[in-house]
Amino acid sequence: MAMAAMNPAGFAPRWEIDKHINISVIFAGVCQVVAIVYFIASLNIRVSNLEQIVVSIAPAQERITKLEVKLENVGEGVSRIENHISKLVNPPPLPIIAVPPVSKRKK
């Protein structure tokens, strides 16, 4: 490895920024800025489309909520009907009562 040239005071020279910039660096920077602007614009379009969809779906969401409540009520009614049917089909057994024997009649 070569040693850096020393200045007269005995210190290594300072780093300096070169005033020449390669055209490929400028082109790459411009391409990145264009890509970022395009990406942000496409996100903006997607967000606006989604906002329109949400606004158009809002009434349907209210109807769906009402239908869910009605279905819960129907489910409760069906379970009550099933209970009544099961009671009619399978009535509880009657209690057995002891009946005294009947005496034979005399003719």
**Phi and psi of 37, rounded to 5°?**
-65, -40
Per-range mean pLDDT, top range of 34-38, 57-61, 83-87:
34-38
Has residue 1 got a pLDDT over 50? no
1 against 104, higher pLDDT = 104
Identify the band that residue 9 occupies on the pLDDT scale cut at 50, 70 and 90.
low
Global pTM reads 0.39
Taking the C-alpha atoms of residue 52 and residue 88, their distance in angstroms, rounded to an integer, is 55
Q: What is the mean pLDDT of residues 65-84?
A: 89
What average pLDDT does the chain have?
Answer: 82
Which residues have CB under 8 Å from 13's CB, separation 6+? 4, 5, 6, 7
